Chains A and B, each alone.
Chain A
Amino acid sequence: MSGFSTHPDHDFDVRIHDALGNAELRESFHGAMHFLRDKRRTQFPDPNALEALRDRGAAIRDRALARLPDLLEQLERNCTRNGIQVHWAETAEEANTLITGLVNAAQGKRIVKGKSMATEEIGLNSAFEAAGFTCLESDMGEYIVQQANETPSHIIMPAIHRNKASIARQFHTQIPETPYTEDVDELIGTGRRVLRRAFAEADVGISGVNFAVAETGTLCLVENEGNGRMSTTVPDMHIAVMGIEKVIERLADLPDLLRLLTRSATGQAVTTYLNLISSPRKQDECDGPRQVHLVLLDNGRSRIYADRQLRETLRCIRCGACMNHCPVYERLGGHAYGTVYPGPIGQVVMPQLHGLDRAGKLTQACSLNGACGEACPVRIPLPDLIRRLRHEGVTQDTGSPVKGHGRQRKPAEALTWKIWSLIHRTPWLYSLTTHLATRARKLLPPWPRAWTNHRAPLEPAERSFREMMEQRGRDPGGKQ
C-alpha cells in the first residue's frame, strides 16, 4: 500500500477540470478557506509577535531535526523505560504488517482510530480490511468520509468538501433507523451514538502523534472532539503511529508548537483536548490501555533528511495552514491532487515520498505566489522547495536523493527554453526578436490558446523600450 491507489499525476488535468466545474465544491472551499484565514488572523493580532513565535517554532523544529537520530534513540529509551513498546518501520508495508501483527497477537478484531495522517499515508485501513478487522474512524469528519468510501480532502478538516445536506442523505441511508435531518446538532448526535458503541466494544485504539518528547518519552496528541482520548484510553491496546520527524527535544518545546499548531490549523487559541501519554495503565489506575505501542515510521523520510534543503520539509507540524492559504487548493479542493497530503505541503512531500515520475506534475499546480510560505508557522520555504522539485523533475543527475529525476522533462519544452536562453543571452538576437515582434504586432497569431481562451491576445507595443531609449540617446533634447 502506498497511501493512494492511483498514480497522482495520472489524470491530474481531468481532476482539475472536474473540480473547477463543480460550483458547489468551489463555493464550499472558497467560504471555508476564507473563514479559516480570518480565524487565524484574529488569533495573531500582533504581526511582530507572530513573527517571533514563528522564529521560535522553526528553531525548535530545526534543533530537533539537527539531532534527529539521537533524539529518536532517546525517545525509544525513555518510552521503553515508561512501559511503551517501541517499533520501527522502514516502509508502509512494514508498518502495516507490524500493526496488523500486534492486533492479531492481542486477538483483537474491532478497532477504533483517531484522526492520523501517518496512518492515511500507509493505507492502514485497507490493511486492516484485508486482515479481516473492522476499523472505525472516530473523528467525525473522518467517519463521514470513511462511510462514504472517500478519502480526506484536507489534513485537518477531512470532510470540508461536504455540506450538511449531503451528510444528512448519507446518514439517513447508511445508518439504520436514522430519520432525514439537516440539523447539525442532530447529525452530530447520530454520529456520536454510532461511535460511542464502537469505543465501548473496541479491542484496539489507533492514533497518530502530534509530537513525541524525547527527554520524557511522552506522546502528545491534539484533538477537539474527545474521540482521540476515547480511542487511546478505552481499548486495552493503544497503537500510536508516528512519522520519525515528529520528535522534539524537551517538554518545554511544546507550548510554542501547540500555540502555532492550533492557531494556524483552526484558528483556536488552545486545543480542546491535549493528551500526554507517557505509559500504559499503572497498577493502581482504573482506566487506560494495558499495552501502549509506538510505531516509528520512516517511509522515505530518511531520504528527505539526507538533503540539507529538502530536510526543511520535515519541519512540518501538519497544521494545514499552507493549504488554507493556497489559491490553487482553494479552487480545487484536496481530492484533485490525488494524494494523501494535498496542497503546497503535499506538492512538496508526495514527489519526495513517491518519486517525481509518479507525483512530479503536482509541482506545476503552483503560481509561486508565496502565500503558503508566508502562512507556514514553522517557516518551511515551500515555494523554494516546489521550485527545487520542478528543477529536479526536468534535470538528470542532480545527485539528490529524490527519485524519478528528469521524468517530467518534455523534449519540446526543453528545446523551447534552450532557444529562449540563446535569444536572451545574445543581445543582437534579442534586439532583432523584439524589433520583429513590435513591428509585426498586428500580424501575430492569437497564441497561445491557453492564454487567449480567457484573455485578450497579447499585443506588443509599437516600439520597444530599448528602441525608445536608443531614440532618446540620439535625440539632442534627450538627457543621455
Chain B
Amino acid sequence: MNATPVNRVYLFGTCLVDVFHPRAGMAAVRLLEREGIFVDFPPEQTCCGQPPYNSGYDEQARDVARQVVERFSDPIPVIVPSGSCAGMLRHHYPSLLADDPLANAAQDLAARTYELHEFLNRVLKIRLEDQGAPVRVAMHTACSARREMGVRDDGLALLGQLKHVEVCEPENAEACCGFGGTFAVKMSEVSAAMASDKCGAIRATGARQLLSSDCGCLMNIDGMLRKQGQDLNGEHLAEFIWKRTGGEPL
C-alpha cells in the first residue's frame, strides 16, 4: 500500500457520524482531498454492524457486515473516522465472516482498513499549519482506538503539529469513559459512574475544549458535561484539525 502513492480512498462514514456528527465526516473528506486524494463515498453505506455484534447478535451483525464488504470492494484503502468502527472492520470482520462466501473479501477489507488519523499521520504523513488562536484542549482517546487499533499516538502526533494548541490528556486517560455502545444503556448506573469520573478528570485539565476521534465517546462525555451545565465544547478531532488549519466552514 505504501509503495505506490495513494490517489483514491473509500470513506466509511459510520452511522454515528452520519446522524450526529456529519461535520466530522465532512472534515475527514476535506482533509483527505486537500492531500490530493479522491474520496469515494459509496452512498449506500450504513453501519459496520458493531452494535448487534457486541450484544451477541452475530447473525444480524453479519447481515450488515456483508454489505460493507461488498460495497467497499475495490482494492483501495478504506478510511474510517472512528477507532471502534475501524476496529470492527479490521479485527472482527475476518472472524465474523470466517465461514461466509465473503471470507476472503473480508480478510482483504480488513488489511486495507485505516482509522482516519492513523492514515493521515502514518501513510500520508501530512503536515499541518496551525492558523488558530492559542487554546487548551483535552484529548480523549477511545479504548478501541487506543487498544484495538493502536492509534493513540497518531491523534496526539497530529495535534502536536498545531503550534498554538496546548494538548492535555486527562488523568487516568486510559480509563474507559463508560460508553461501550449498549453498555451505556444496559448497565446505565455503572456507565454513568465511569462517565462521571471521566468528566471530572477532563474538567480538572482546565481545557476549553474536548476532542476525541470517536463519536461514541464524544456523545457520552459531552452529553454528561452538558447535563452538568459545563461550558466545554466537544468536537471530533478531524473537525478541529480542519478548522485550525485554515479550512473553510463545513
Q: Do they bind each other? A: yes
Chain A residues positioned under 8 Å from B186 (CB to CB): 364, 450
The distance in angstroms between the C-alpha atoms of A456 and B23, with both chains bound, is 20
Contacts known (A328-B190, A460-B20, A464-B18); A421 close to B180, Cβ less than 8 A: no
Q: For residue B48, which residue of chain A has the nearest CB?
A: A424
Task: Tell me, yes or no, whether B54 is within 8 Å of chain A by CB.
Answer: yes
Residue of A nearest to B178 (CB): A367
Inter-chain CA distance A479–B49, complex, in Å, is 30
Q: Is A161 interfacial (CB-CB < 8 Å)?
A: no
Provide the residues of chain B in CB contact with A448, threshold 8 Å. 185
CA distance A179 to B190 in the complex (A): 40
Q: How distant is the Cα of A421 from the Cα of B66 in the complex, in angstroms?
A: 12
A20 within 8 A of B: yes
Cβ-defined partner of A465 (8 Å) among B22, B178, B183 = B22
Label chain B's interface by main secondary structure: helix
B43 within 8 A of A: yes
Residue pair B147, A461 in contact (C-beta under 8 Å) = no
B187 contacts partner chain A, Cβ-Cβ < 8 Å: yes
Q: Does B111 contact A (CB under 8 A)?
A: no
Say which one of A191-199, A299-307, A387-395 lies at the interface with B: A387-395
A469 on the interface (CB 8 Å rule)? yes
Q: Are B18 and A480 in contact (CB under 8 A)?
A: no
CB-contacts of A371-389 with B (<8 A):
371, 373-374, 387, 389
User: Chain A residue with minimal CB distance to B229?
Assistant: A456
Whether A455 touches B22, Cβ cut-off 8 Å, given contacts A469-B29, A479-B33, is no
Nearest to B95 among chain A residues (CB) is A384
Report Cα–Cα, A271/B12, bound state, in Å.
Answer: 50
* B-side interface size class: 35 or more
* Given A390-B56, A458-B223, A464-B22, A367-B180 contact (CB < 8 Å): yes
Give B233 Cβ to nearest chain A Cβ, in Å.
13
Q: Is the CB of B19 within 8 A of A456?
A: no
A39 to chain B, nearest CB (A): 16
Assuming the A-B contacts A327-B194, A456-B223, are A364 and B187 also in contact, with contact meaning beta carbons closer than 8 angstroms in the complex? yes
Q: Judge whether B143 and A369 touch: CB under 8 Å.
A: yes
Residue in contact with B46 in the complex, picked from A391, A418, A427, A468, CB distance below 8 Å: A427
Q: With contacts A327-B175, A366-B180, A454-B227 known, is A418 near B60, CB below 8 A?
A: yes
Which chain B residues border A395 with CB–CB below 8 Å?
Answer: 56, 58-59
Given contacts A17-B189, A460-B20, contact A427 B175 (CB under 8 A): no
In the complex, which residue of chain A has the Cβ closest to the Cβ of B91?
A: A384
B217 → chain A closest CB, angstroms: 10
Cα A464 to Cα B24 with chains together (Å): 11
**A273 an interface residue at 8 Å Cβ cutoff?**
no
- The answer to whether B192 touches A463, judged by C-beta atoms less than 8 angstroms apart, is no
B188 / chain A contacts, CB cutoff of 8 Å: 450-451, 453-454
Among candidates B19, B29, B55, residue contacting A417 with C-beta atoms closer than 8 Å:
B55
Q: Tell me if A368 is interfacial: C-beta within 8 Å of chain B.
A: yes
CA distance A331 to B65 in the complex (A): 34
Contact A461 B21 (CB under 8 A): yes
Tell me which residues across on chain B come within 8 A of A17, comparing CB atoms.
189
The 8 A CB mask of A441-457 against B (1 = contact, 0 = none) is 00000001011011111
Please give, as numbers and ranges, the residues of chain B lying within 8 Å of A420 by CB-CB distance. 51-52, 60
In the assembled complex, the CB of B166 is this many whole angstroms from the nearest CB of chain A, namely 26
- Residue contact B60 to A421, C-beta cutoff 8 Å: yes
* Segment 9-23 of A: residues with Cβ below 8 Å from B: 16-17, 20
Contacts of A469 in B (CB 8 A): 13, 25-26, 29, 41, 43
Interface centre among A328, A373, A408 (most CB of B within 10 A): A328
Q: Is A466's beta carbon under 8 Å from chain B?
A: yes
A332-B180 in contact (CB<8A): no
List A residues 255-301 near B (Cβ within 8 Å).
Answer: none
Known: A417-B52, A454-B188. A369 touches B223 (CB 8 A): no
A82 proximal to B (CB < 8 A): no
Judged by a CB distance under 8 angstroms, whether A434 is at the interface is: yes
| Residue contacts A-B, CB under 8 angstroms, 7 given | A364-B183, A365-B190, A366-B183, A371-B176, A454-B224, A456-B226, A461-B22
Chain A residues with CB under 8 Å of chain B are 16-17, 20, 26, 34, 327-328, 331-332, 364-371, 373-374, 387, 389-395, 408, 413-414, 417-418, 420-421, 423-425, 427, 430, 434, 437-438, 448, 450-451, 453-461, 463-470, 479-480
- Closest 7 pairs (CB-CB, A-B): A367-B180, A455-B223, A390-B56, A369-B176, A450-B188, A465-B22, A421-B60
Interface residues of B (CB under 8 A from A): 13, 15, 17-23, 25-26, 29, 33, 38-39, 41, 43-47, 49, 51-61, 63-64, 66-67, 143-144, 146-148, 172, 174-176, 178-181, 183-196, 219-220, 222-224, 226-227
